[in-house]
Structure 1
Amino acid sequence: MADATLDHQLGLLAHLRSILVALGEAEQVPEESHALFMERFDELVEQLPLAPIESQYLGQDILCQVIQRYPQIAHLVPRDLLWFFAGDCLHFMPDDEIELYQALEARRYEAEQNDEPFDWNQEKQLLSMSAQGSTH
């Protein structure tokens, strides 16, 4: 797994963690269960760089729990994380969004095969704009 991809996911997890911490500080969730959940979340953040493949199931479980336990912030969960961990996380993505990510992966693969640079965020933005243009 490329370091840039992993760094991107870790950055998104850090962002999501800050949202979860704010939710706990606002006392919008039961404190004890939230603290235990945050321990598991932190475990994922620690394990992911050491064992990215082995952490996939834990990541799927954690992200699905975020959406189920905290529906008030489900719209704030970065879509890239749902795609990265895949599995059950894909149930929370509509078909057109999955198609966008499949096209993005195909572009990344093509760039890697041709030893070309690939900027995930830029390509995602370009694909999103072209998808929006085709629906209007």
Structure 2
Amino acid sequence: MSKSHLDHHLAMLAHLRTILMAMGEAEQVSEESHALFLERFDELLMSLPDIPEERHLGQDLICQVFHRYPQVAHLVPRDLLWFFGGDCLHYMPDDEISLFQELDERRHQAEQDGAPFDWNQEKQLLSMSENGSRH
């Protein structure tokens, strides 16, 4: 996995953490369990750069966001669902999974070819071509 690919997802996790922090500050959740959840979230942020293959904690935490914080579930970046996979994929429709599969295949091909790959740009291109084929 390329460092930029991991960095992209770490930035998304940091953004999601900001959203979760705001939930606590707005006192919309139980303070004690929220603090413990954020501790586990911070553990993920700290360990993921060193052990990116160990994603089980991320799967668990992202799924918990949907259960514990349903009011912000729509704000969870879709990229994180794909990145962590497993049970997270239950929150993605089939057409979205297909899009991310194609995106991942393009990323792997670019890595094999030694070519640069811009995840966001490719995702936008794929989304545009998919939307064009629906109309």
TM-score using structure 2 length: 0.97
- Return the offset for 1:45: 0.5
Q: Distance in 2 between matches of 1:96 and 1:25?
A: 36
Match of 1:116 in 2: 115
Structure 1 Cα separation of the partners of residues 56 and 109 of structure 2 = 27
Between 59-68 and 110-119, the greater mean CA deviation after superposition: 110-119
Matched residue, 2:15: 15
Q: Aligned-pair RMSD on alpha carbons?
A: 0.8
- Partner of 2:72 in structure 1? 73
Q: CA deviation at 1:112?
A: 2.1
1:102, distance to aligned residue in structure 2 (A): 0.6
Corresponding residue number in structure 2 for 1:64: 63
Q: Which runs of no fewer than 5 residues in structure 1 stay unpaired? A: none
CA shift at 1:53, angstroms? 1.1
User: Shift of residue 107 of structure 1?
Assistant: 1.2
Using the TM superposition, give the Cα deviation of residue 115 of structure 1 relative to its aligned residue in structure 2, in angstroms: 2.1
Q: CA shift at 1:51, angstroms? A: 1.1
1:111 Cα deviation from its structure 2 partner: 1.7
How far 1:114 sits from its partner (Å)? 2.2
Amino acid at match of 2:13: L
SS across alignment from 2:48: helix
- Tell me what 1:40 maps to: 40
The alignment-based identity, stated in percent, is 70
Runs of 4+ in 1 over 4 A off after TM superposition: none
Q: Residue deviations 1:58-94, cap 9 Å, x none?
A: 0000000011110100010011111000000000000
Paired residue type of 2:122: E
Tell me the distance in 2 between the aligned counterparts of 1:53 and 1:113.
19
SS in 1 for 2:115: coil
SS of corresponding position for 2:49: helix
CA distance in 1, matches of 2:113, 2:39: 42
Q: Which residue of 2 aligns with 1:97?
A: 96
Deviation at 1:105, TM superposition (A): 1.1
